A and B are shown apart, each in its own frame.
Chain A
């Protein structure tokens, strides 16, 4: 598979994935009342905010690794909580976490490209 080398493409695909995950998290918090819905709202809002930060290319050396870590953290948090409680095992959550896994890969590629010498973004 051909991996995109252009940081701009990777950045905008990351923005799309972050924004989609954020909206899904907010939707999940709204539709699945009863289990930490406020936490899902907060996670979604943070994603939407970071989508704007990545889109603006603000402090990419800090912002990009932060989003990378945040996505891994939330994925593992969901997996551990779901295994421990049996909650959060449904189609919306699976789709959300599949996008989040893609986001992790996208962010890793973006960070690698952004940190190449002579790359601006």
Chain B
């Protein structure tokens, strides 16, 4: 735009043009900033999961005293979830990690108390994995569906139940 053209503009037209440009730029950048602040790229989230026992008499109360610790796992949609699940029982008792549909997971079961010990079994697309006392399982899946999904031990249901919360 030449200087002579600028001079020919009325003040009202000049203010209007500047105002419109400023408003459009403000909305565009403000919307982008708002999106960038809320956006969180999918990431790998690792959780350690254990069986746990509450201190009461199972026979007296009529329910299992076993629970999961933690019993809530919260992730964003599209995150890769890795759960390192340890059966820390002090007696010979199995536990499972069983998930609600539509979720399936890959699981690698290790013979010992951590994931560096030899592998007992490894399988993809499972809905349930069984752990003996002192075994460790590395469970992995992608949180592709939003919502709240149950994970449980089939031997100690309903008390040994947890929830996977997938945001978004």
Asked if B33 and A72 sit within 8 Å, CB to CB, the answer is no
- In the docked arrangement, what's the CA distance between A71 and B22, Å? 8
Contact between chains at A75 and B26 (CB < 8 Å): yes
Please tell me if the beta carbons of A80 and B31 are within 8 angstroms of each other in the complex.
yes
B26 contacts A77, C-beta separation under 8 Å: yes
Write out, one digit per residue, whether chain B residues 23-49 have a CB within 8 A of any chain A CB (1) or not (0).
Answer: 101110111011101100000000000
Q: Does B147 reach chain A (CB closer than 8 Å)?
A: no
Bound-state CA distance A111–B13 (Å) is 12
Partner of B18, one of A72, A77, A78, A80: A72
Contact B15 A108 (CB under 8 A): yes
CA distance A78 to B149 in the complex (A): 38
The residue that A84 contacts in the complex, of B19, B21, B33, with Cβ under 8 A, is B33
Residues in A lying within 8 Å of B, measured CB to CB: 36, 65, 68-81, 83-85, 87, 108, 111-112, 115
Residue B55 is within 8 A (CB to CB) of chain A in the complex: no
**A69 vs B25: C-alpha distance when bound (angstroms):** 10
Q: How far is the CA of A75 from the CA of B29 in the complex (A)?
A: 12
- Which bucket holds chain B's interface residue count? 10 to 19
Instruction: Please tell me if the beta carbons of B30 and A78 are within 8 angstroms of each other in the complex.
Output: yes
Set of chain A residues within 8 Å of B19, measured between Cβ atoms: 68-69, 72
- Known contacts A69-B22, A76-B23; A111/B11 CB under 8 A: yes
Residue of B with least CB distance to A115? B11
Q: Are A76 and B30 in contact, CB atoms less than 8 angstroms apart?
A: yes
16 contacts between A and B (CB under 8 A): A65-B18, A68-B18, A68-B19, A72-B22, A72-B26, A73-B25, A76-B25, A77-B26, A77-B30, A80-B29, A81-B30, A84-B35, A84-B37, A84-B38, A111-B14, A111-B15
Whether B15 contacts A77 by the Cβ 8 Å rule is no
**Cα distance A43–B4 when bound, in Å?**
32
- Residue of A69, A70, A83, A111 contacting most chain B CB atoms (<10 Å): A69
